[in-house]
Amino acid sequence: MDVNAALADASTVPFWLDSARRPEPLPPLTHDIEADLVIVGGGFTGLWTALQAKEREPKRHVVLVEANSIGWAASGRNGGFCAASLTHGYDNGESHLPNENERLAQLGRENLDAIGAAVTRYGMDVEFERTGELDVATEDYQVPELREAHDPEAGFIFYNQEELAQIVKSPTYKGALWDSREVAMVNPAKLCWELLRVIRELGVEVFEGTKVTDVSDRKSTVQITTLVTAQSSEDCRAAPCSIITANRVALATNVFPSLLKRASLHTVPVYDYALMTEPLSDEQLESIGWSGRQGIGDCANRFHYYRLSADNRILFGGWDAVYHYGRQVSWKYDQRPETFETLAEHFYETFPQLSDLKFSHKWGGPIDTCSRFFSFFTTAYGKKVAMAAGFTGLGVGASRFAGTVMLDLLSGQDTELTQLEMVRKLPLPFPPEPVAWLGIQMTTNAMIKADSNEGRRGPLLKALDAVGMGFDS
């Protein structure tokens, strides 16, 4: 299949968001109000925070404001891998937080179980499947580490090349480790929309098209200035602005510029891209196996992730992680033809038996990353404001835990979670421009070089490891 022909008719709307089930838009906030808790951001973090806030205190007046529409950003564009890990993998957690890594792993498993329980309790139709994930080796040097991780009692099962060929058929595979318990597949947009349904039924007020432009301390309360985003001007003198007076505020804006200056250098936005195929026929599906419907990711630094949708399409994403100078976030970066062509080529190399399959959707979007590659937390204004960010692409599951942490922080009480080093310790900030851009480009090139050198990390990556800014995917 010629990749250009295979991509020619693909929609540029993210597949998950391209659905008749997409809710009707909610009106923006156009008048001043008061609230017990205001949540800024209508992605996973904000939605889970709202749900848990009402579960804890049903009579609490909770307001959620979203600048665009619920789930339109990273939460509606990802691969739908809902992982237990709160630290972007056990080894990364061991590197950064060795004293509490075991407890964080346990808390992550409990969090994933709680997500599944909420899906059941509220009857959420979100295509939630506890299939686990296959980490596949596509190079011989990657196999020994996977084999060493074999631990059936813990749910980690190694397959050699011959065994794996009976599970998923690809000529590129050398072996795999199946994490059978700690990853679920979900339709991310449906999860956002079902969470929206549930929190509104519980009494949360939700306003879309409402951008927060300022969060200010007012001694006993917090003042939040909002702007109706349908207006062309961000000047309150020219566009409708409203004021929310809140007792507590949870900031869940993630990849977008922080409303707290103290956190402005702790994240950078990188763009990730994905393709979705047309639905596979029964014959095509039989040709690749995959009856277990596991998520799949390969072991390189520049990795691919892929999974089956409910109607047996294949989502195939990853490889490039693109940073734009100046921490820019813009809709114009959502499409990147050269990345789509590369992903299509890699797809056909992975599954040559599907060479006649075309792509129905192609899209991208920004994710927030921090220097330790998992979420961090901070508070402001006498702990009346809490913030979480930095999920680095693994926020589908960890976002619920972040909501739990923020509510604990806002309670003013010391809890196990507020005392975690993960919560108390900030990652190292990224430098300002132009150093940030130069450093990210150098690091990307070093990781590409490591992939071509059997994973051996060069001087730059070793130096980053030493100062706590290194990551091995």
pLDDT digit string (tens) for 44-86? 999 999 999 999 999 999 999 999 999 999 999 999 999 999 9
DSSP letter at 433 equals: T
Backbone angles phi, psi at 168, to 5 degrees: -135, 130
pLDDT over 70 at 184, yes or no: yes
Cα–Cα dist 158/147, whole Å: 6
- Which residues, at least 6 apart from 240, have a Cβ–Cβ distance to it below 8 Å? 28, 30, 227, 228, 231
Q: Using pLDDT thresholds of 50, 70 and 90, give the confidence band for residue 232.
A: very low
Q: pLDDT by residue (tens digit) across 288-345?
A: 999 999 999 998 888 999 999 999 999 999 998 899 999 999 999 999 999 999 999 9
DSSP letter at 139 equals: S
User: What pLDDT, on a 0 to 100 scale, did the predictor assign at position 436?
Assistant: 85
Backbone angles phi, psi at 173, to 5 degrees: -85, 135
| Amino acid type, 39 | I
User: What pLDDT, on a 0 to 100 scale, did the predictor assign at position 446?
Assistant: 73
> What crossing angle do the helices spanning 188-201 and 44-56 adopt, rounded to 10°?
30
In the numeric block, which tokens belong to residue 356?
């006649």
- Which residues, at least 6 apart from 131, have a Cβ–Cβ distance to it below 8 Å? 183, 184, 185, 292, 293, 294, 295
Q: Using pLDDT thresholds of 50, 70 and 90, give the confidence band for residue 449.
A: confident
User: What pLDDT, on a 0 to 100 scale, did the predictor assign at position 234?
Assistant: 44
Helical residues (DSSP H) of 8-100, grouped into ranges: 44-56, 90-96
Cα–Cα dist 135/195, whole Å: 30
In the numeric block, which tokens belong to residue 401?
């835990």
In the numeric block, which tokens belong to residue 268?
């950078």
Cα–Cα dist 188/16, whole Å: 7
| % of the chain with per-residue pLDDT over 70 | 93
Residue 385's DSSP bridge partners are: 249, 380
Q: Using pLDDT thresholds of 50, 70 and 90, give the confidence band for residue 233.
A: very low
Task: Among 108-117, 123-132, 260-269, 383-392, name the one with the lowest average pLDDT.
Answer: 260-269
> Across the chain, what does the average pLDDT equal?
93
Q: 238: helix, coil or strand?
A: coil
User: What pLDDT, on a 0 to 100 scale, did the predictor assign at position 20?
Assistant: 81
Element (H, E) at 38: strand 33-40
**Which residue from 133, 11, 17, 12 is spatially nearest to 75, judged by alpha carbons?**
17
- Which residues, at least 6 apart from 16, have a Cβ–Cβ distance to it below 8 Å? 76, 77, 80, 187, 188, 189, 190
pTM of the entire predicted model: 0.94
Mean pLDDT of 95-101: 96
| Amino acid type, 456 | R
pLDDT over 70 at 230, yes or no: no
Residue with the bigger pLDDT between 237 and 253: it is 253
Residues 468, 371: contact at Cβ < 8 Å? Answer: yes
Around Cβ 265, how many Cβ atoms within 10 Å?
17
User: What pLDDT, on a 0 to 100 scale, did the predictor assign at position 315?
Assistant: 98
pLDDT over 50 at 473, yes or no: no
Domain ranges of the chain: 434-466
Exposed, middle or buried by CB within 10 Å (0-12, 13-18, 19+), for 423?
A: buried
Element (H, E) at 223: strand 221-228
> What crossing angle do the helices spanning 44-56 and 395-411 adopt, rounded to 10°?
40
Q: Using pLDDT thresholds of 50, 70 and 90, give the confidence band for residue 43.
A: very high
User: What pLDDT, on a 0 to 100 scale, did the predictor assign at position 470?
Assistant: 60
